[in-house]
């Protein structure tokens, strides 16, 4: 287990926490809009996708186009988050936020105005790059600017805003679906996001750069001016922070003479064991967050709801809103408790809860499966066995296995728990089978058993259980797992490596996001729906062990101290000795200036 020894950079902290003014909260509120845009964009596309394929100008839109339009944004977000590391070192954190909100606004407007598929793809690429930028830079910006005692809370607010963006996207998706959804509604869904991004752009014209970036780039007077605003004129704290920043920067500059410091940051990270360890842990936390299946549950809620027997589009959207509210309530827990109880305990609690909830999701899918109607021999189905896929579908032993496969649907004999698994009709997969009892209008009264065609779901006595299990999952996931990877990654790294390392770990988040979402459907076909969730549960068990043994507690450490938590005893002692020395130099320089 990781030892949680309190260390200090050698300075005595002022006894009381600083009293913060409105400025910090305005700054944080403007920054976390980035989280809102991230959440909104990732969710709104599902609602828009219900209508875009039939929109004039965009149709025909086959599944390949649909997949491109949905996945291009997370794909480009991975690229954007990687690029933003370098960009934010050279240009500054603030300019990258300005760039992200500008690109987002343009991307949202292009999507809303799209007259063809190419234009839509261009808009989605811009949105992806922008959310990639935002997901990397906002936690860094908050981490570097926020006073230590509220840092965890403010970065958690970023994660809260992701969930809020997702709820709002569902509500807007629901609301706009009543306004000519095929021509105007889906455009409004995209256009809406241009408003908060434009607000963020305007705010950041006036908001400052982070004090740490300013100091590192030689703007000492500006650093002090920003600290004065952040600490609301509290001289004791301003001096303390100024000395901390100066000491850590001096340390860095001393190293710059060495050959090591002249190598590119990425290579230096590889050669610095404690930073390499930190970025490995940070990237694994982001990967584990995705491997717990959050986005499959979010992306496929509509399917899960439909598979519970709800047919109406509007009802489906409103139940999705209900589920995303569960995902929104959770982040208030870490936000309010993180500075009291620390990061580890909240993370472990949420992780344990997620394991249980994933098992419940698995069990509920199993119950649905076991209670679903059995497949009968083809004999009585009237199916022509030379039709494509007839034999393949027939091999599924029950309705649940049958409807999980794209090519098949279940033709159930009404009033019984039996039926036939038949290939779907090419022209009307939702309405009929290609051959056999469900291929045309049902037989008249007395001419044979009445049948009903089920493409997506099977009626069982457990069908609503997965919805409740998913609600519980979202509540538990969002009460820690949603925020902690972001919070910890904003704290783990030293200034010289921060943007590079955060961009690496953020890219890991996006890559695993894509990987898990794109493999879900094939996974359910290979190992069943229950199997997929048991697999996510098993991966989350390894996440629990990983957090328990490898993640240090960062509560109470200044952002410049956190890196020492990844050092071994010897390295830590050496580092602390050097820092004390530098600090004494800085202090005596400050005194001579006075």
Ligand X SMILES: O[C@H]1[C@H](O)[C@@H](O)[C@H](O)[C@@H](O)[C@H]1O
Binding site for ligand X (CB under 6 A): 42, 159, 162-163, 166, 289, 294-295, 298, 482, 509, 513
Closer residue to ligand X (CB): 100 or 243: 100
CB of 390 to ligand X, least distance (A): 40
CB of 298 to ligand X, least distance (A): 6
Closer residue to ligand X (CB): 139 or 423: 139
User: What residue is closest to ligand X based on CB?
Assistant: 482
**Whether the bond into 60 is cis, omega within 30 of 0:** yes
**What is each CA distance from 175 to 47, 181, 234, in whole angstroms?**
10, 10, 47
Closer residue to ligand X (CB): 154 or 247: 154
Closer residue to ligand X (CB): 42 or 503: 42
- DSSP per-residue string spanning 54-81: GSTTT-S--HHHHHHHHHHHHHHHHHHH
CB of 330 to ligand X, least distance (A): 9
CB of 82 to ligand X, least distance (A): 16
| 44/212 Cα distance (integer angstroms) | 36
Closer residue to ligand X (CB): 290 or 564: 290
Burial (CB count <10 Å: 0-12, 13-18, 19+), residue 34: buried
Q: Could you identify the residue written with the tokens 């972001």? A: 486
| 305/299 Cα distance (integer angstroms) | 11
Closer residue to ligand X (CB): 49 or 61: 49
**What is each CA distance from 581 to 336, 559, 577, 584, 591, in whole angstroms?**
37, 19, 6, 5, 16
CB of 470 to ligand X, least distance (A): 13
Backbone angles phi, psi at 420, to 5 degrees: -120, 140
| 86/516 Cα distance (integer angstroms) | 27
| 320/324 Cα distance (integer angstroms) | 6
| 78/111 Cα distance (integer angstroms) | 20
Closer residue to ligand X (CB): 479 or 524: 479
Burial (CB count <10 Å: 0-12, 13-18, 19+), residue 548: middle
Edge-to-edge strands of the sheet including 408-413? Answer: 374-375, 418-423, 408-413, 451-454
CB of 268 to ligand X, least distance (A): 27
Closer residue to ligand X (CB): 105 or 509: 509
CB of 154 to ligand X, least distance (A): 15
| 233/304 Cα distance (integer angstroms) | 53
CB of 294 to ligand X, least distance (A): 5
Contact between 449 and 260 (Cβ < 8 Å)? no
Sequence-separated (6 or more) residues with CB below 8 Å from residue 98: 201, 204, 205
CB of 331 to ligand X, least distance (A): 8
Closer residue to ligand X (CB): 75 or 409: 75
Closer residue to ligand X (CB): 231 or 477: 477
Give residue 441's region: left, alpha or beta (phi > 0; psi -120 to 50).
beta
Closer residue to ligand X (CB): 114 or 166: 166
CB of 175 to ligand X, least distance (A): 21
Closer residue to ligand X (CB): 42 or 439: 42
Contact between 180 and 69 (Cβ < 8 Å)? no
Task: Take residue 325 and report the two structure tokens written for it.
Answer: 């509210």
Sign of CA dihedral 416, 420, 421, 426: negative
CB of 509 to ligand X, least distance (A): 5
Task: Take residue 167 and report the two structure tokens written for it.
Answer: 């709820």
CB of 299 to ligand X, least distance (A): 9
Q: What residues pair up with 413 in beta bridges, in sequence order? A: 451
């Amino acid at each position: 287990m990781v030892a949680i020894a309190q260390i200090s950079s050698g300075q005595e902290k002022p006894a009381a926490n600083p009293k913060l003014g409105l400025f910090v909260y305005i700054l944080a509120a403007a920054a976390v809009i980035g989280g809102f845009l991230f959440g909104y964009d990732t969710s709104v596309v599902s609602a828009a996708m219900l209508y875009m394929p039939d929109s004039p100008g965009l149709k025909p839109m086959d599944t390949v186009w649909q997949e491109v339009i949905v996945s291009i944004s997370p794909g480009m977000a991975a690229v954007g988050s990687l690029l933003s590391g370098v960009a934010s070192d050279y240009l500054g954190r603030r300019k990258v936020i300005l760039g992200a909100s500008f690109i987002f606004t343009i991307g949202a407007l292009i999507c809303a105005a799209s007259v063809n598929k190419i234009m839509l793809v261009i808009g989605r690429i811009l949105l992806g790059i922008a959310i990639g930028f935002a997901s990397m830079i906002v936690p860094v910006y908050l981490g570097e600017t926020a006073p230590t005692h509220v840092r965890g809370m403010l970065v958690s607010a970023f994660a809260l805003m992701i969930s809020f963006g997702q709820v709002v996207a569902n509500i807007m998706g629901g609301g706009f679906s009543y306004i000519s959804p095929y021509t105007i509604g889906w455009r409004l869904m995209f256009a809406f996001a241009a408003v908060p991004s434009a607000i963020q752009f305007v705010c950041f014209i006036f908001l400052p750069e982070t004090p740490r970036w300013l100091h590192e780039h030689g703007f000492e007077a500006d650093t002090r001016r920003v600290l004065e605003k952040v600490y609301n004129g509290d001289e004791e704290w301003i001096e303390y922070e100024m000395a901390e920043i100066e000491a850590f920067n001096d340390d860095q500059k001393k190293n710059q003479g060495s050959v090591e410091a002249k190598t590119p940051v990425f290579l230096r990270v590889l050669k610095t064991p404690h930073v390499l360890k930190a970025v490995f842990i940070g990237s694994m936390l982001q990967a584990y967050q995705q491997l717990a299946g959050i986005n499959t549950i979010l992306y496929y809620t509509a399917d899960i709801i439909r598979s519970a027997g709800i047919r109406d589009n509007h009802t489906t959207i409103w139940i999705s809103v209900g589920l995303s509210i569960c995902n929104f309530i959770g982040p208030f827990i870490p936000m309010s408790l993180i500075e009291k109880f620390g990061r580890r305990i909240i993370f472990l609690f949420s992780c344990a809860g997620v394991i249980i909830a994933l098992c419940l999701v698995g069990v509920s899918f199993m119950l649905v499966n076991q209670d679903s109607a059995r497949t009968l021999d083809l004999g009585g189905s009237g199916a022509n066995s030379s039709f494509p896929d007839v034999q393949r579908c027939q091999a599924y032993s029950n309705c649940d296995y049958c409807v999980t496969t794209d090519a098949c649907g279940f033709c159930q004999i009404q009033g019984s728990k039996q039926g036939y698994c038949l290939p779907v009709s090419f022209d009307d997969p939702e309405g009929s089978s290609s051959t056999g009892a469900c291929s045309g209008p049902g037989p008249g009264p007395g001419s044979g058993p009445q049948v009903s065609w089920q493409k997506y779901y099977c009626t069982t006595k457990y069908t609503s259980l997965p919805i409740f299990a998913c609600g519980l999952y979202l509540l538990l996931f969002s009460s820690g797992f949603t925020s902690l990877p972001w919070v910890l990654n904003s704290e783990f790294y030293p200034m010289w490596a921060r943007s590079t390392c955060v961009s690496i770990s953020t890219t890991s988040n996006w890559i695993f996001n894509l990987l898990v979402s794109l493999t879900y459907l094939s996974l359910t076909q290979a190992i069943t729906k229950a199997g997929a969730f048991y697999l996510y549960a098993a991966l989350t068990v390894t996440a629990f062990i990983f957090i328990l043994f490898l993640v240090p507690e960062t509560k109470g450490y200044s952002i410049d101290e956190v890196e020492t938590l990844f050092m071994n005893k010897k390295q830590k002692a050496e580092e602390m000795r050097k820092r004390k020395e530098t600090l004494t130099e800085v202090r005596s320089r400050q005194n001579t200036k006075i």
